[in-house]
Amino acid sequence: MQIFGVDIGGSGIKGAPVDLDKGDLAQERHKVLTPRPATPDGVADGVREVVAHFGWTGPVGLTFPGVVTGGATVRTAANVDKSWIDTDARALFGDRLGGLPVTVVNDADAAGVAEMHFGAGQGRRGTVILLTFGTGIGSAVFVDGVLVPNTELGHLELDGHEAEKRASSKAKEDHDLSWEHWGHRVRAYLAHVEMLFSPELFIIGGGVSRKSHKFLPYLDGIRAEIVPARLQNNAGIVGAAMRAGESGAA
């Protein structure tokens, strides 16, 4: 079975049909830039463009970079326009997509669901934490395979700043940090998260997961096992489609 997945990020909106039996994209994904400012109307137009690129007419699962409650209402907007707060995202996207069945989920939670089912967390028990490093830092926490939703651990304080302002991949680019320098910041962040949650496994996702060999050597001293996301930057798309399938939208 195929369902369309869309991953909305601070810099890009990407999507593709997903083969839910294989946990992989059924076609090469299409991406558009996230508008500036990233208002509800602007982002909804971008989502419509991505979905229309494939001529898709079935259920759509979407991620959102913030807290989503009740499967619809946006509660936080750290890396998109503040006008998103209290928006009914499901109604907005459903209307913009011409009434297609829509499911909306936190972006890191979606990536985590995909990694736990098809990727690096498959079959793992205990506490597993997926962290996505991109425009910000997203988090998905699982206890014996069960998701604790909307954790938003990227907003923990690190060295007097929000962690994602210090250790996201955007921070690396903005400050032109070497892999070693950035890796030490990530290590400090992981040590803080480990102190709070004592996970058995960290899964590192986001675009940087493709280059894990460049920074994993600098994450020494962490007790938990650390592995790159197996689905890499497609995890959000896959997880969004999975959630749409679970919701009965299909």
Give the N- to C-terminal CA distance of the chain in Å, as an integer.
9
> Cα(122)–Cα(45) distance, rounded to whole angstroms?
35
For the chain, list the domains and their CATH numbers. 2-106+234-246 (3.30.420.40), 120-230 (3.30.420.40)
Question: Which alpha helices (H) appear in the chain, and where do they start and end?
Answer: 40-53, 89-96, 107-118, 163-167, 169-174, 179-197, 235-246
In order along its 250 residues, the chain shows pLDDT tens digits of 999 999 999 899 999 999 999 999 999 999 999 999 999 999 999 999 999 999 999 999 999 999 999 989 999 998 899 999 999 999 999 999 999 999 999 999 999 999 999 999 999 999 999 999 999 999 999 999 999 999 999 999 988 999 999 999 999 999 999 999 999 999 999 999 999 999 999 999 998 999 999 999 999 999 999 999 999 989 999 999 999 998 765 4
